[in-house]
Amino acid sequence: MKRTPEPYLWLLFSGGGVVAALVLPVLVLLFGVLMPLGVVDWPAVEHLRALLDNLVVRLALIVVVTLCLFHAAHRIRFTSEELFGIAKFDRALAVICYGAALAGVGVALWMMV
């Protein structure tokens, strides 16, 4: 029996869906709506830098970015296979999608260091 990484990819997909549903709407509401409208004051740069100095905050941001990127990669892979009828290129499409997600995680790690 051949083992595949598919269960782990589905795990990352579902985790990313949960994070995208719970965390991203709050961030979009705060930074995309309330702060630009002046309902909530923008945080000071010093305050944001102090937050990012905390290791737990950096790890949480990396986890959020990682799960959201793998969720998006999984959706793009299977949606494009169904929509464009390119299931015969599944392996190449998987490498492209998950490779892009890994590259995004690498950029997030680089930015957090």
Tokens standing for 62?
């990396």
Q: Model pTM?
A: 0.83
Confidence of residue 1 (pLDDT cuts 50, 70, 90): confident
In a domain, 49, yes or no: yes
In which domain, by residue range, is 68 found?
7-35+43-112
Residue type, 19: V
Give the chain's domain count.
1
What is the per-residue pLDDT across 71-91, written as a single tens digit (0 to 9) for each?
999 999 999 999 998 989 999
What is the per-residue pLDDT across 28-79, written as a single tens digit (0 to 9) for each?
999 999 999 999 999 999 999 999 999 999 999 999 999 999 999 999 999 9
Q: What is the pLDDT of residue 22?
A: 93
Q: What is the pLDDT of residue 5?
A: 85
Let me know: does 108 contact 61? Beta carbons within 8 Å: yes
Let me know: does 67 contact 15? Beta carbons within 8 Å: yes
pLDDT at 6 exceeding the cut of 90: no
The CATH number linked to 90 is 1.20.1300.10
In a domain, 1, yes or no: no
Q: What is the pLDDT of residue 106?
A: 97
In a domain, 100, yes or no: yes
Which sign, positive or negative, has the C-alpha torsion 91, 82, 71, 17? negative
